[in-house]
Structure 1
Amino acid sequence: MAKDTAKTALKRSVRAAVESMSGELLRISREIHSRPELAFEERHAATLLCDAIRSEGLEVGRPAYGLETAFEAEFGPAGAGTVAILAEYDALPEIGHACGHNLIATAALGAGLALARLGPDLPGRVRLLGTPAEERGGGKELMARAGAFEGVDAAMMVHPSSG
């Protein structure tokens, strides 16, 4: 029973954190959408996302894993498992963010920052990875070869759909 109560409290805290930053997340999503950048050219999007992470007092590594527009922020206690949350933010030629990478990026950002706000109550480690060049360039594959997923127990991301 106590474990369920603690889990419910964590969920409430995460939900409240996301709600409190929803306006800023929407602004970032719209700005990324309005300035589509192709694979390996996502400088503006990466800067926006890194600035938002730093504004929460977290350290961000950029460039990361040999890619100028990749980034990494890692936080939480070691030894209890590590989850990677992946943010994509590249666009497609001529059709921009038709695949919704602006939404993927801000969903990952919101999830990561909400978890970071749990502070000492965070039950594991989070590695927030900015993964450029998903559409044309294999950014995640390049990052994996460079070690981005070493020590990660699970990786996740969300993808929007019209259906």
Structure 2
Amino acid sequence: MRELIESFKDEVLSLNDFMARNPEIGGGEYKSSGAMVRLLSKHGIKVEYPFAGMETAFRGVINEGKVRKAAILAEYDALRGIGHGCGHCASGSISILAALVLNKIKDQIPAEIHIIGTPDEEMRGGKVTMANNGFFDGYDFAIMIHMSNKNALYSGFLALDAYEFSFHGKPAHAASIPWEGRNALNAARLFMDATDMMRQHVREDVRIHGYIKNGGDASNTVPHLAVVEMLVRAKDRKYVDELSQWVMDCAKAASIATRTSYSVEQLGEKFDGMRRIKSGEKILEDIYRDMKLPVVDLGDLTGGSSDIGNVSSICPSFHPYISIGEEFNGHTVEFARAMTEDRTHKAILDGGEIIARFVKAVYGTPGALEDLWKEFRGE
């Protein structure tokens, strides 16, 4: 298989470097998705583009006509202001490489393989929209690999809600007639304090964090508008729903106390937590070990969130990590700069092999697919 990996090396690494140097934020990944689709099409993979009602989504099909089907997911959106600080240019290139390799050995795979381009993971969550519209129904499993500073078999993503709270007051001169005003910033401050006071009384996996986006216009004017962005996370989706309602109550109480009004806008989709399938992780562990890639156990929680969590509620899903070096941390400028370095290039080639070998192992090992689904169903 390594010979096949090497045969696509130059094209896939050029794809990665192009995306790294031309970062596009979620929903606007026209250059990136177009480059991916052109490479897949060049090698004879039939691609639907756009796909799922999204202009920058796509789906390529390998082994069309087989009853079984598996999904390889590709991400390619960048972070605002940082570029590919999350490494999606490299993660997406890994998925494309795996698809190209599997297309060459498709006669050995008794299933359709779909390479699905999933836009806007960072903000709105393209996979959630796809999941809600049934596009992941019927898959045996889904897989992708994410860049990191460690090799790990599991991403303990938390369920996530994101909201923007706008508090509306009444402007007035802050020195001459402050009694005529209603202070929206005071409402925002009370709201932030109230959510801080929740922390003692929630489970240990909960993360509540936000910031004031707008706190007023001038020091001598009573702020008539204050805007807070707030994120609520926990392992369990039902518990996040409870916490979000509590946060809503905090906003209402802050508004009543300051005699202001408020409005709420949901930001993006609601992300589910990542379900863990240890029988699949064992297959991945054997592959990593055989490739001499040492893995660490990150435990059940990583603190982050991703829209692949919603896919993992529909079918067994896998989101292992591959390291580009322990000195790098995601969501940083340094991580983005490392995307065109040799160590990232090596991780892309290794990652493509891992996914291709995983797909082949699941379908080629007696009972492996059944084990994934027994665990998924809780049997």
List alignment gaps of at least 5 residues for structure 1. 1-11
Counterpart for residue 60 of structure 1 = 47
Cα offset, 1:40, TM superposition: 0.2
Name the CA distance, whole Å, in 1 between partners of 2:149 and 2:92: 17
Q: Find 1:42's aligned residue among 25, 29, 35.
A: 29
Cα offset, 1:120, TM superposition: 2.3
Describe the SS at the equivalent of 2:91: helix
Name the CA distance, whole Å, in 2 between partners of 1:147 and 1:63: 17
Counterpart for residue 3 of structure 1 = none
Name the CA distance, whole Å, in 2 between partners of 1:150 and 1:117: 26
State the TM-score, normalizing by the size of structure 1: 0.87
Structure 1 residue 97 corresponds to structure 2 residue 78: no
Counterpart for residue 158 of structure 1 = 145
Indicate conservation of the 8 Å contact 1:86/1:129, yes or no. Answer: yes
Describe the SS at the equivalent of 2:136: coil
RMSD between superposed Cα atoms in Å: 1.1
Letter in 2 for 1:138: G
Counterpart for residue 270 of structure 2 = none
Name the CA distance, whole Å, in 2 between partners of 1:149 and 1:17: 28
Describe the SS at the equivalent of 1:92: coil
Number of equivalent positions: 149
Cα offset, 1:147, TM superposition: 2.5
Counterpart for residue 66 of structure 2 = 78
Name the CA distance, whole Å, in 2 between partners of 1:61 and 1:70: 9
Letter in 1 for 2:8: M
Counterpart for residue 114 of structure 1 = 101
Cα offset, 1:137, TM superposition: 1.0
Name the CA distance, whole Å, in 1 between partners of 2:101 and 2:33: 19
Describe the SS at the equivalent of 1:37: coil
140-149 vs 152-161, which moves further: 140-149
Describe the SS at the equivalent of 2:94: helix
State the TM-score, normalizing by the size of structure 2: 0.38
Name the CA distance, whole Å, in 2 between partners of 1:119 and 1:75: 7
Cα offset, 1:104, TM superposition: 0.7
Please give the per-residue CA displacement for 1:86-113, whole angstroms capped at 9, x wherever unaligned. Answer: 0000000000000000011100000011
Counterpart for residue 198 of structure 2 = none
Name which structure has the greater RCO, CA cutoff 8 Å, separation 6+: 1
Letter in 1 for 2:49: R
Counterpart for residue 6 of structure 1 = none
Cα offset, 1:58, TM superposition: 1.5
Higher Rg: 2
Please give the per-residue CA displacement for 1:96-140, whole angstroms capped at 9, x wherever unaligned. Answer: 000000011100000011001113233321110000000011100
Structure 1 residue 28 corresponds to structure 2 residue 15: yes
Counterpart for residue 134 of structure 2 = 147
Q: Name whichever structure is richer in strand by fraction.
A: 2
Indicate conservation of the 8 Å contact 1:116/1:122, yes or no. Answer: no
List alignment gaps of at least 5 residues for structure 2. 151-379
Describe the SS at the equivalent of 2:116: strand
Letter in 1 for 2:66: A
116-125 vs 131-140, which moves further: 116-125
Letter in 1 for 2:133: A
Identity over the aligned pairs, expressed in percent?
36
Letter in 1 for 2:78: A
